[in-house]
Structure 1
């Protein structure tokens, strides 16, 4: 698997006349895998990493992102997008944090998560819910869109491709932001389910600290991917794979199967063809 992905990145960079690759590095497993693949495909001198934290970002994830870049020896830039978000007015949508401890902020977020919607993830996919909930959608989506603009700014200065980090589980379930993290030139891991990305990460010696942390979009404090799905990635991927292959689902929790089907139904409108993905070569 690893060698074919390395070849894919190298071939597509050459085919489309890019000089190298820019990767947005978050400190999570997906971007760690993609950055490592790019380094092996192109060499560290042709890879640039951009780390774009903001007010709500995890300090641990920021440190993990920096440590990974330094371990791989790639050039990187760390740029806070907090001033841009503040100028736009994003932070005015919710009460200021001042110097509140993260534990209090997370409790506040979880309380709103549980009270503004009976099912926040499905309402997210449908763009439905009360006004305060819709403000929350705008609040987190703008962060990915600002990052997209900065990734392309750095890429185009260098003649590089923006290499995406969306996996198949995220793509199928709509766990991405339109014109945000899905707006890229190349998607090398979009054919891999999240659990397969973890397997590849182990093969590529991604740091244990990154492998062990709960997957999170790192956009709203305290919210993890599995919290949004109401099931583990192991359960979700297993059901997704069975649905894709039309396999028997009688041994799965029927409530979770029904939820996955709803997620697929509501996320369908977000999916669009992306021109350069591994499973389309």
Structure 2
């Protein structure tokens, strides 16, 4: 069965909670900003034939399979439906991410428009796993006045959703960035491990749980858990800037020379 679209999910949750909603078409704004053109230009750095009728997504290798340095690749689907995978250069990867980040920032821009119009605050969606690992776009989905689930592991978010009566269709919808034209999970795009295991590994690392217990709980061996731990620490370092507030000049009191 095909996964429910983000639009259908949004309408369903609005209807189930009895709240007002507004449908905003982002494509014209994204086209005007050059989102798709810039993305396609970056992809063509490694796949020169990429163009109209093609689809794409970017992926990471598994974090538990080896100690090899993990690099992003782009998966291409041509107009005939044939897929191929291509290793991304740093320039191509950064260009793709920079272009697709337009989507999260445009969504947030319109969200703030409605918040200003209604004199509301905005809420953010990152859970503890996403917030800890920098899985958000700065000034995009990472921007919010309140982040009510940033302390909850992803599995706890699903439990809370069930308790609150969020429709089953939404709770069973695969987590996705809804950013690329080929369906893509958060696992293959960023975490490289199902969230159930990532939650347990993050909890184990945060709470000094003996590694053999984490391995037993996640059905991984101890070396694989260590690889996950190293990946968690690395992501914390490389995404630290996402959590930083803007630097401000330090005011210096005028000192009299007399």
User: Same fold per TM (> 0.5)?
Assistant: yes
Equivalent runs, 1:1-281 vs 2, <5 Å: 60-95=5-40, 100=53, 105=55, 108-109=56-57, 113=59, 118-120=70-72, 129-221=89-181, 222-227=183-188, 228-251=190-213, 252=215, 253=224, 254-272=226-244
Take 1:201 and 1:71, find their aligned partners in 2: how far apart are those partners?
Answer: 12
Contact 1:172–1:271, Cα closer than 8 Å, also in 2: no
Any gaps of 5 or more consecutive residues in structure 2? 41-49, 62-68, 74-87, 216-223, 246-258
3-state SS of the aligned residue for 1:200? helix
Take 2:211 and 2:235, find their aligned partners in 1: how far apart are those partners?
Answer: 17
3-state SS of the aligned residue for 1:162? coil
3-state SS of the aligned residue for 1:78? coil
**1:34 counterpart residue number:** none
More divergent stretch after superposition (264-273 vs 152-161) = 264-273
Contact 2:128–2:152, Cα closer than 8 Å, also in 1: yes
Q: CA RMSD in A?
A: 2.6
Q: CA offset at residue 71 of structure 1?
A: 2.1
**1:55 counterpart residue number:** none
What is the TM-score normalised by the length of structure 1?
Answer: 0.65
Greater percentage in helix: 1
What is the TM-score normalised by the length of structure 2?
Answer: 0.70
Take 2:51 and 2:165, find their aligned partners in 1: how far apart are those partners?
Answer: 37
Take 2:120 and 2:37, find their aligned partners in 1: how far apart are those partners?
Answer: 35
Take 1:265 and 1:198, find their aligned partners in 2: how far apart are those partners?
Answer: 28
Any gaps of 5 or more consecutive residues in structure 1? 1-57, 122-127, 274-281
Summarize the Cα distance change of 1:114–1:199 in structure 2 as closer, same or farther, 3 Å threshold.
Answer: closer
Cα-to-partner distance string for 1:144-188 (whole Å, 9 max, x where unaligned): 111121111111111111121121111100000011112111111
Q: More relative contact order in 1 or in 2 (CA 8 Å, sep 6+)?
A: 1
